[in-house]
Amino acid sequence: MIPLEFDYQAPATLEEAIGLLAGGDEDAKVLAGGHSLIPLMKLRLAAPSLLVDIRKVPDLKGVSRSNGDVKVGALTTHAEVAGSDIGLAATVAGTIADPQVRHRGTIGGSLAHGDPASDLPAVLLAAEGSVDVQGPNGTRTIAAADLFEDYLTTSISDDEILTGVTLPAMDGYGFGYEKFNRRAEDWAMVAVAVWVKNEGGTVSDVRVGLTNMGSTPLRATAVEEALRGGNASADAIAQAAEQAAEGTDPPGDLNASSEYKRHLARVLTRRALTKAAGI
């Protein structure tokens, strides 16, 4: 379908972009790579009267390390993240859709959209990362645990722009990512992102993020609690992974029923944990 009529602005500065969002047009939307918003507009599930294209805004790209953290600019594309040396996030970004999408879609756009079927939100959540946003009242940092509120809903205000992403470097952790879909470019039926700190056969820390297992990205806290402080053995991992779907409410769809997604979560969690633990 063809989107409804809309106005378009491409400001040259962040301040100008924020001014357009705060200018009284309640239906203004930020456009970054466009691979989340434009499909919704074509289906007429979103009908903004103004698109504020921030692709010309400087200093919103790049990947860097600082004080044990990884900093990623909001306009950094999935392809750029995939080509970096930041471990799990790079691996996950390299699985997103196809090369065309990865070279246009941005990490900031993906997180701000808040789709629980997207790959990167669960990574941010499990890593206990954060995002920086800026609006007419200044800047603020939102922890991942407070960012995702409901389906396609985040705590970023309508007049705020996501400017950057912070992830712990997770040095000393092994990681694994397992994703199940029909075709390589499809959304994940279920995906699991895992970090494990295996110190001499003991799991000193573990993080497990689930994709498409509810209305928001989720952490498999029951799995984490079952493994943390215990042995990094195949049996312990298998037993813990059986709790991966605990407390989840995955939506059934044409690809998979809710129960099948719960089964996938258990299987994929075991595989990802095994890889991350190095056993």
Chain segment 4-22, per-residue pLDDT in tens = 899 999 999 999 999 999 8
Give me the CATH code for the 7-52 domain, please: 3.30.43.10
Same topology for domains 7-52 and 174-277, yes or no? no
DSSP strand E in 37-173: where? 50-53, 63-66, 69-73, 130-135, 138-143, 148-150, 153-154, 161-168
Confidence at residue 39, expressed as pLDDT on a 0 to 100 scale: 87
Tokens of 241: 């992974």
- Distance from C-alpha of 10 to C-alpha of 197, rounded to nearest angstrom: 44
C-alpha–C-alpha distance, residues 182 and 191, integer Å: 13
- Name the band, by pLDDT with cuts 50, 70 and 90, for residue 38: confident
Averaged pLDDT score across all residues of the chain: 95
Q: Does position 25 have pLDDT exceeding 80, yes or no?
A: no
Q: Which residue has the higher pLDDT, 24 or 93?
A: 93
Instruction: Say yes or no to pLDDT of 97 above 80.
Output: yes
174: left (phi over 0), alpha (psi -120 to 50) or beta: beta
Look at residue 203 and give its three-state secondary structure. Answer: strand
- pLDDT value at position 184? 83
Mean pLDDT confidence for 206-217: 98
The segment with the largest mean pLDDT, out of 32-36, 43-47, 80-84, 180-184, is 80-84
pLDDT of residue 104: 95
Q: Domain locations in the chain?
A: 7-52, 63-168, 174-277
* 125-152 residue pLDDT tens: 999 999 999 999 999 999 999 999 999 9
* Structure token pair of residue 212: 């498409």
Q: Is residue 1 pLDDT above 80, yes or no?
A: no
- What's the pTM? 0.94
Asked whether 227 and 160 are in contact (CB, 8 A), the reply is no
Superfamily of domain 174-277: CO dehydrogenase flavoprotein, C-terminal domain (3.30.390.50)
Architecture of the domain spanning 63-168 = 2-Layer Sandwich (3.30)
